[in-house]
Every structure is written in C-alpha cells, then in structure tokens.
A and B are shown apart, each in its own frame.
Chain A
Amino acid sequence: MAEKIVVDARNMACPGPITKLTKAYRKAKPGDIIEVLATDPGFKPDVQAWVQRTGNELLELKEENGVIKAVIKVTAKK
C-alpha cells in the first residue's frame, strides 16, 4: 500500500534536505508520497533539479513563512 513519508529537514543547511530526501527515496515504494519540509533557500532549485533528473512527479512546491514544502509522488521506481 502506498504510504506518505514526511521528511522534516527544517533548520538543516544544504545539502541536508536533499540528503534526507535521497535516504527517504531509497526506502520508498512506487506510489508513495514524500513530503519534504525545509528552510534552506537552496532547497527549492535543488528539489526541482532532483525531480527532473529522477523523473518523479512534483505535486506541490510552495513557500510559507520561510518553510519550503515539496510534495513528491514516487512514479519513477519500478
């Protein structure tokens, strides 16, 4: 069954958030949703580059009160 995985990388400097996303992605199954919260401003362009490279689906990317939230659907894993 698909799961929602929340990765809290708030207050982590770069490359903490992408590193945590990579770790979560290794364990994720097709169809899972990974939600990443980060405060590092570099995370926004980084997660876009990551989604493009890996071919997963970016459902949401927004910034609110200094917190960047990225919601990714795992579609590229077989």
Chain B
Amino acid sequence: MNDERHTIVRVINVKKDFPLGRQTVRVLKGVDLEIMAGEYISIMGPSGSGKSTLFNMIGGLDKPTDGKVFIDEVDISQLDAYELAWLRNRKIGYIFQTFNLIPVMTALENVTLPMTFAGMHGDDAQDKGIELLKLVGLGERFQHKPLELSGGQQQRVAIARSLANDPAIILADEPTGNLDLSTGAEIIELLKMLSAERGVTVISATHDYKMLNVSDRVVWIRDGMIDRIENRDELDISVGGITEVEGAPA
C-alpha cells in the first residue's frame, strides 16, 4: 500500500518497575520493538506478562522506568503535557477491553468528542461521526447511550471513536476480552479491514488466538521480555496447532 515504509513505533530497551510494598517489581525487563507504519501487530502472552504495561508505554499513558519510546522518531518522554494531549488526540486511537465509552453521552457524542477537542466544527464533526458509525456498522444507533448497546456494539462505537481524528496508530488492549467468540471475531475483522483500507497501524495486546489469523506479526511476551516475534508466513503453521489445542472456534 505504501511505497516508503517507515518505522512508526520504536521501543528501545524499555524497563518498567512498579513499587510493591517496600520492594519494586520489574514488570518489563528490557523490551526492544520496532513497528512499521501500516502493520497489524498482536502482542501475545500469558496474563501478567506485561502486555498492558507495554501497551501503556507505547500509548504515552505511562512512562518507562528506563529506556525510550519513539513515535515516528519523536521521543515521547520529551513531550510536554500539551504535546502529549495532542499526540493522544490526533495520532493515537485507544480501544480498551471494557470499551470505556462515556456513559452520559450518546454513541455519536462519544465519537465526536475527540473531534471537538481537535477544534472541528460541530456540524462537520456530526457528519464525520455518523460516517464513522456507519463504517463500523452502527448506522442507525447513533442516538443510543452506551448502556443501551450490546458489548459488541459498544466496542464498535469505541472503534469509531478511536478513528475520530484519523490517527496513524490504533492501540487496542484486549479489544475482544469482554466479547463472545463470534462478536470478537467480528471486531477483529473490523480492525483488520481498517488497517488494510485506511493504512492505520494496529497494535493490540491480547490473548485471543483469533487475532493471529489477521496479524502481520505477533510479538510473544513472556515474563516481561520478548520471547519471540513471528511473521505472518511463519505463523500459519503454528496457528493450525493452536486452533487444534484451543478447540474449534465458533
């Protein structure tokens, strides 16, 4: 799709400690990772291996104890509050396991909120919001509040919201974690479609093996370190194995 592929995320020797009582636990033990623009990356690993922690570092939601994260060759630890807000607003779209829509706002208002922050005019934002909700398959439901929507529908709204300002990166932390198998598969399909059609880099932390089929690369994390990184072509074999182990998907 793109003639010049460039590195959009570069993680260099990132370590993260958390205080635990009097001690500190090292959750990330030196992670190096390079992600190209337009890639669909899955970060896989057992519970507690540090996926969300790494995800938060990449998304500028938390600061590494040591090491650096570059977004498009800009060291995000050097950004001030305004620049970080701008980065979150325009360049990164976040999707969470628990959807995290704002309950008092309608689907459409949730989607247009980042556009409002970006200074977009009200009518333009409405139009774009409706267009995005149609894109994720929620054309008629934009006046509903999150609690009036199913989990899958809420996650669709969250995806539409993450696309509000045409971000370069979508960060999804277990986007299918609270969904049943088939709804999860639909959400994964949607993310894949967005990545292919819009050239968005999708980075998702997950333990959903359905993600493997659509990922360009899979980063396996174990105990705060990268265990291995597999490309799509190497994956097909192991996916067969895994689906067998996991049982047939819905």
Mutual binders A and B? no
